[in-house]
Chain A
Amino acid sequence: MIDGVKRDHARFRQIVRGKIKQDLKKYIQHSEMFGRKGKDIVTIPMPQIDIPRFRFGSNQGGVGQGEGNPGDPVPGQGDPNGGDEPGQGQQAGNQGGEHDLEVEFTLEELAEILGEELALPKIEPRGQKTLKSKVDKYTSIASQGPNSLRHFKRTFKEALKRQIATGVYNPEKPVIIPIKKDMRYRSWKSDVKHENSAVIIYMMDVSGSMGDEQKEIVRTEAFWINTWLKSQYKGVEARYIIHDATAKEVDEETFFKTRESGGTLISSAYKLCEQIINQDYPPSDWNIYPFHFSDGDNWSTEDTKLCIDLMKDSLLAKVNVFCYGQVDSRYGSGQFYKDLLEVFGPDSEQVITSRIENKDGILASIKDFLGKGK
C-alpha cells in the first residue's frame, strides 16, 4: 500500500467508526446482521458513505443490450430501488450504484467503540494472574529453518568468519560464499505471560413465558457483554445454564434455542451456578461474572427468599458482580426485579439489576451492567 493511501484508509475507518458510534443503538439492536469472519473479526453492513452531488433520480431510462421484448424487465437488476443501475457506464456515468459498504472490525475495536460511546470504565481485575499465555516472538536465531526465514546478515557473517578462519578469505577479492553450515535463520522464543482470567456464567429462564423476542434480547446482550469482557481480560470463558423448575448446564447453541414449559425455580440455577464456581473457578484466581436473565416470574416467594439467601451467603462473596437482567414479557409479573431491588437497593456495588423493556432498552441495560467497572 502506498503510505498516503494507508493514512487515508485509517481516516476512512475513523469516519466509519464515527458513523457506527453515532448510530450505536441501531447497530447494537441489529447485531444479528453482523457477519463473522474467523474468530475475531465481524463484518458490519452499512450504507455507502458518499459525497453528495446533483444527480439524476430513478426515473432515468437508458440503453441496454440483449434479448427481450418491450415490457420485459431489464435483466440484472437486483433490488429494484438500488443496487447497480443497469447500463452502468452509460447512464450512471461515474456514479455507480448505491453499494452497501461492508466494513470489518475486530472484536477488540468493537469493544473500544462500545466503551467510548457508553463511557465504560476499565475493569480493575482482582485475583492473581493465573492464566499463563504463551507468546512466540521471532527474536532468536537458529542454524536450521526454512529459506523464507533466512537471516542474510548473520549467514554472511558466519561465512565470513569461516573463510577468515580457514584462510580462504582474500581482502583483494572479497568473495563470500556461504555453505550449508553457515546458514542462519530467524527463530522464535516463547514468552510466558501471566494474565487475569475471567468467566461469565450466563443463566436464563427458559420457561414458557420467555418468548423468542426475549431470547433475542438476551442473545444480543450476551454478544456485547462477551465483546466487552473479552477486551478487558485475556481468555474469557463462558458457561451457560438454562433453568425452569430445574437447572442444567448446556452449550451456547442450546442455551439460546431451548424452550421449555413449566414452572420457574430461580434458585435451581443459582445453586448450579454456585456449584460450577466451587468446582472450576476458585475466586482467588478468577474474575467471575454471573448474568441472569428472566422475565421476573418466580414460583414462590419462598424460592425468592432462598435465592437471596444464596446470594448473600455465598455467591456474592465469590463473584465480581452479580448481574440480573429482567426482560419484560407479556406473561411475566416482574416481581423478582422488585424483590432484588428491595433487598440490595438500586446502587448496590455487588448486585446490578436492569430492566429491559424491549429492544430499544438494550443499550441502556448494557451500560447498567458494564458501567460500574466491576
Chain B
Amino acid sequence: MGIRSTNLPPELSKLRDEIRQYAVDYGLDCFETVFEMVPSDAINSLAAQEGFPVRYPHWRFGMNYDQYSKGYEWGLQKIYEMVINTDPAYAYLMTANSYVDQKTVMAHVYGHVDFFKNNTWFSKTNRKMLDTMANHAVKIRRYMDQYGQDEVEGFIDLCLSLDNLIDPHLPFNEPKKVSSKTDDEKDIENKTQDVGRLKVERGYMEKYINPPEFIEAQKQKLAQNQKQEKKFPNHPERDVMLFLMENAPLTEWQQDVLRMIRDEAYYFLPQMQTKIMNEGWASYWHSKIMTTKALKDSEIIDFADHHAGVLTMQPGRINPYKIGIELFRDIEDRWNRGRFGKAYEECADMREKQRWDKKLGLGTQKIFEVRKVCNDVTFIDEYITPEFVDRYQLYTYEYNRRTGQHEIVDRNFDSVKEKLLSGLTNQGQPNISIVDGNFENKGELLLVHRHQGVDLDMKYARETMRSIFLMWSRPVHIETEVDGHKRFFTYTSSHEFVAKD
C-alpha cells in the first residue's frame, strides 16, 4: 500500500471512542469505522484515486494527483475528510490537522457511515469494494503485461467515456429472467394459449368474460409484443455499457475490462445520487455532536471557523453541504412543530401559520426516516418549501447567448424547484439509451437522447460517439435536439461526424 503506520495515536483513539459513543447515543447506526492517519501527500494520492489505496494504472489518477497536490501547495484547497463506503468503513485523518479538526472530521465521518449503511439507495452497493478495486487493479495490470499498456489504457479511456451511460434503476430491478425455452416451444405455447383468453369455469359465461372485442384487443397486444421481441434490444437500453459488453465485437479481455469499469461506475452511482443528502446529513451530525457534546470551550472558535468554511455559500453558487444541512434542520423543525399536512398547508391566516406549533416532537424520527428512503431528487421534491427558497435567497439562472453570461431569471418557488430537480435528475447527466442495435438492418447502432430542455455539448458528443464507434465498429447514430429542432447525427466508418435533419 505504501502507507506506513496508520494507527491512531492513543489520544485520538480515545477521542474516536468518545465521538462514536455520542453518535450511538444519538441513534446513528454505523459500520465499524477504521480511521487511518495519513500525511497530506498521501491524502492527495488517495483522493486522486477516489479514496481507494489500490487502483488500476491509469493516467487520470496522476492528473488528479497533480491538481490536488498543487491546490494544496498553493493553499487553495485542503482535503479535510475522506471516507469509503465499505464494511468496515475506512476514513482518513490528515496528520497535520489540529485536534479540533480531527474531532469534527470524526463526527462528520460517522454521519456519512450511518448514511452509507442505512440509506436505501446504498443498499445494493458492494461493501467489499476495497478488495474488488484491488482485484481490478491486479487483472488490469496483468492485461497490460500481456497486451501492452497503451493498448489497454486506450481501451480503458473508451470505457470511461461511457461510464455515465448506465441505468440508475438497474440495481433495484429483478435480475432479467432468462428464458430457457426454445423458440419452437414458445410457438406451441402461443398456439395453445389461445391469445390471452381469460379462464372460464362455466361454458355459458364465455361470451361475457371473453367477448369478441376483448379477444381482438388481446390478439393485437400479442402481435405487438411479438414485434417488440424481434426488436433488438426489445426495450430502450439505458445501460449502454452492458449492451456493448454483451453485443459489441470485443475480445475477452476487453469485455472483462469493460465489465470492471462498469462495476466501478455502479459502485459510485449512489454517491452521486445522494450528494446533497449525504453531505447534509454528515454536516448535520458533526455540528450536532460538536456543539452539544464534544466541543470544549477553548475549541469553539476553531470549530466555528472550520464549520463556516465548509458551509459557506459563495455568491452565485450553491453549496450542497449547506442546502443539505439546512433542509434537514428545516424538516426537523417542521415535524417538531407539526408544520406539515393538510391543516397547515391550507391555513390562510399568516399570523397563525407563523405561530404554528403543535409540539409534536416528531423531528428526529422524521429526519431518520428521510435519510433512509430519499435520494437527492425525492429529498428536494418532497421537502423544499417556498419559505426555504426565500430564506436562502435561491434563484434560477439561464445562459444568455447575447451577453455570453449566465443571468438571473427569477426567484419563483416553482421554477427554482424545477431547476433544482432537473439538475439532479439522472445525476445531472443526459438521458441517453440504445433503441436499436440493428438500425436499418445494417448492424448499426441507434442511440436516442431524451431531450429535456438542455442540448448536448456537441463537441463532447462527437468524441463520445467515437468511443462507441470504436467498440461497436459499425456506424453509430444519435437522435437529439439542437435549438429546438430534432437532429440526427452519425459517426461514420471514416471517422466523420455528420448531421442529417
| B457 and A63 form a contact (CB under 8 A) | no
Q: How large is the interface on B (under 10, 10 to 19, 20 to 34, 35 or more residues)?
A: 35 or more
* Inter-chain contact A4/B316, CB cutoff 8 Å: no
- Interface flags for A66-105 (1: CB within 8 Å of B; 0: not) read 1111111111110011000011111111110001011100
Interface centre among A11, A64, A81, A89 (most CB of B within 10 A): A64
**With known contacts A67-B393, A71-B407, A76-B317, A4–B464 Cβ distance under 8 A:** no
Contact of A8 among B65, B408, B420 (CB under 8 A): B65
Of A4, A69, A76, the most chain B CB neighbours within 10 A belong to: A4
The size class of the interface chain A forms with chain B is 35 or more
**Within 8 Å CB of B42, what residues of A?**
1-2
A15 vs B464: C-alpha distance when bound (angstroms): 20
Our pick among B62, B416, B419 for the contact of A9 (Cβ within 8 Å) is B62
Find A63's partner among B46, B314, B416, B430 (CB 8 Å cutoff).
Answer: B416
Taking a contact as CB atoms closer than 8 A, the residue among A8, A56, A86, A101 that contacts B317 in the complex is A86
B2's contact among A2, A9, A52, A94, by CB below 8 Å, is which? Answer: A2
Contacts of B396 in A (CB 8 A): 61-64
For residue B362, give the distance in angstroms from its CB to the closest CB of chain A.
29
Quick check: is B104 within 8 A (CB to CB) of the other chain?
A: no
A74 contacts B316, C-beta separation under 8 Å:
yes
B405 and A2 form a contact (CB under 8 A): no
Chain B residue numbers with a CB within 8 Å of A74 are 316, 397, 405-408
Complex: A93 Cα to B164 Cα, angstroms: 11
B164 touches A54 (CB 8 A): yes
In the complex, what residue of chain B is closest to A72 when comparing beta carbons?
B408
Residues of chain B within 8 A of A4, CB atoms compared: 2, 45, 49, 54-55, 57, 61, 137
- A7 to B401 alpha-carbon distance, docked (Å): 43
Most buried by B among A54, A69, A72: A54
Is there a chain B Cβ closer than 8 Å to A12's Cβ?
Answer: yes
- Determine whether the beta carbon of B429 is less than 8 Å from that of A93: yes
Question: Which of B15-23, B118-126, B155-163, B213-221 forms contacts with chain A?
Answer: B155-163
Question: Taking CB as reference atom, which chain A residue is nearest B42?
Answer: A2
CB of A190 to closest CB in B, whole Å: 32
Q: Does B60 contact A (CB under 8 A)?
A: yes
Kindly list chain B residues whose C-beta atoms are within 8 Å of the C-beta of A73.
403, 405-408
Task: Check B395 against A65 for contact (C-beta < 8 Å).
Answer: yes
Interface string of B40-82 (1 = CB under 8 A from A): 0110111011000111011111110111001000000000000
Instruction: Verify if A53 is at the interface (C-beta below 8 Å from B).
Output: yes
A94 to B424, CA, bound (A): 11
Contact A54 B460 (CB under 8 A): yes
Q: Which residues of B are found within 8 Å of A67, using beta-carbon distances?
A: 315, 393
Contact at A13–B394, with CB atoms within 8 Å?
no
B467 within 8 A of A: yes
Assembly CA distance A95 to B272 (angstroms):
12
**What chain A residues lie within 8 Å of B466 (beta carbons)?**
52
Q: Which of A14, A62, A68 contacts B419 (CB 8 A)?
A: A62
Q: Which residues of B contact A87 (CB under 8 A)?
A: 316-318, 397, 423
List which A96-131 residues lie within 8 A (CB) of chain B.
99, 101-103
What's the minimum C-beta distance from B107 to chain A, rounded to whole angstroms?
A: 22
Chain A residue numbers with a CB within 8 Å of B440 are none
For chain A residues 33-65, which have a beta carbon within 8 Å of chain B? 49, 51-65
The answer to whether A90 touches B53, judged by C-beta atoms less than 8 angstroms apart, is no
- Docked pose: A22 CA to B463 CA in angstroms: 19
Residues of A close to B319: CB separation below 8 A? 89
Shortest Cβ distance from A262 into chain B, in angstroms?
49
| Cβ–Cβ < 8 Å partners of B275 in chain A | 89
Contact status B419-A55, CB under 8 Å: no
Bound: A75/B405 CA distance, A:
10
Chain A residue, CB-CB nearest to B163: A53
The interface residues of chain B lying within 8 Å CB-to-CB of A14 are: 59
- A63 pairs with B420, CB closer than 8 A: yes
**Cβ-defined contact, A51 with B60, below 8 A:** yes
Q: How far is the CA of A102 from the CA of B424 in the complex (A)?
A: 31
B340 within 8 A of A: no
Q: Is A276 an interface residue (CB 8 A)?
A: no
Nearest B residue (CB) for A57: B457
Provide the residues of chain B in CB contact with A93, threshold 8 Å: 272, 423, 427-429
**Residues in B neighbouring A12, C-beta threshold 8 A:** 59-60, 62-63, 65-66
Neighbouring A residues of B397 by C-beta, 8 Å: 61-64, 74, 86-87
- Tell me, rounded to whole Å, the shortest Cβ–Cβ distance linking A74 to chain B: 4
Q: Which residues of B contact A69 (CB under 8 A)?
A: 408
Residues of A within 8 A of B137 (CB): 4
**Which residues of chain B are near A53, meaning CB under 8 Å?**
160-164, 429, 460, 464
Q: How close is B269's CB to chain A, nearest CB, in angstroms?
A: 11
The closest CB in chain B to the CB of A84 belongs to B317
Pair A51/B157 contact, Cβ less than 8 Å? yes
Does B316 contact A3, Cβ atoms closer than 8 Å?
no
Let me know if A54 and B405 touch, CB within 8 A. Answer: no
Residues of chain A within 8 A (CB-CB) of B320 are 89-90
CB-based nearest B residue for A80: B404
A165 at the interface (CB under 8 A from B): no
- Min Cβ gap B330→A in Å is 15
Q: Are A77 and B316 in contact (CB under 8 A)?
A: yes
Interface residues of A in 310-330 (CB under 8 A from B): none
Closest to B421 in A: A63
Q: Are B427 and A54 in contact (CB under 8 A)?
A: no
The 0/1 profile, CB within 8 Å of A marked 1, for residues 312-338 of chain B is: 011111111000000000000000000
Bound-state Cα–Cα, A69 to B393, Å = 11
B401 is contacted by which of A59, A77, A86 (Cβ under 8 Å)?
A59
Task: List which B382-412 residues lie within 8 A (CB) of chain A.
Answer: 392-399, 401, 403-411
Nearest-CB distance from A55 to chain B (Å)?
Answer: 5
Asked if B432 CB lies within 8 Å of chain A CBs, one says yes
Chain B nearest CB from A102 CB (Å) reads 8
Taking the complex as formed, is A343 at the interface, i.e. its CB lies under 8 A from any CB of chain B? no
Q: Which residues of B are found within 8 Å of A99, using beta-carbon distances?
A: 67
Residues of B within 8 A of A70 (CB): 407-411
Say yes or no: is A10 at the interface (Cβ < 8 Å to chain B).
Answer: yes
Contacts of A92 in B (CB 8 A): 428
Which residues of chain A come closer than 8 Å to B461, judged between CB atoms?
Answer: 54
Report whether A10 and B62 are in contact in the complex, using a CB–CB cutoff of 8 Å.
Answer: yes
Is the Cβ of B316 less than 8 Å from the Cβ of A54? no
Contact call A65/B406, Cβ cutoff below 8 A: no
User: Is the pair A86, B53 in contact by a Cβ cutoff of 8 Å?
Assistant: no
Q: Considering the chains assembled together, what is the distance between the CA atoms of A63 and B313 in angstroms?
A: 13
Q: How far is the CB of B27 from the nearest CB of chain A, in Å?
A: 28
| Bound CA span A13–B62, Å | 8
Once the chains bind, are B456 and A55 in contact (CB under 8 Å)? yes
Instruction: Collect the chain B residues with CB atoms within 8 Å of residue A71's CB.
Output: 407-408
Q: Which residues of A contact B301 (CB under 8 A)?
A: none
Say whether B62 contacts A66, CB under 8 Å.
no
What is the bound-complex CA distance between A102 and B408, given in angstroms? Answer: 32
Which residue of B is nearest A67, CB measured? B393
Beyond the given pairs A10-B62, A65-B394, 17 more chain A to chain B contacts, judged by CB atoms under 8 angstroms and listed by A's residue number, are A1-B65, A12-B60, A51-B161, A52-B462, A54-B429, A54-B430, A54-B449, A54-B460, A62-B419, A63-B419, A65-B316, A67-B393, A69-B408, A75-B316, A77-B316, A80-B404, A94-B428
Which residues does A use to contact B, with CB under 8 Å? Answer: 1-5, 7-15, 49, 51-77, 80-81, 86-95, 99, 101-103
Please list 12 pairs of residues, one from A and one from B, whose beta carbons are closer than 8 Å in the complex, sorted by A's number. A1-B42, A1-B45, A3-B2, A11-B59, A55-B456, A61-B397, A63-B423, A65-B317, A66-B315, A70-B409, A87-B397, A94-B272
What is the interface of chain B, defined by CB distance below 8 A to chain A? Answer: 1-3, 41-42, 44-46, 48-49, 53-55, 57-63, 65-67, 70, 137, 153, 157, 160-165, 272, 275, 313-320, 392-399, 401, 403-411, 416, 419-420, 423-424, 427-430, 432, 449, 454-458, 460-464, 466-467
4 closest A-B pairs by beta carbon, nearest first, are A52-B463, A12-B62, A93-B428, A8-B62
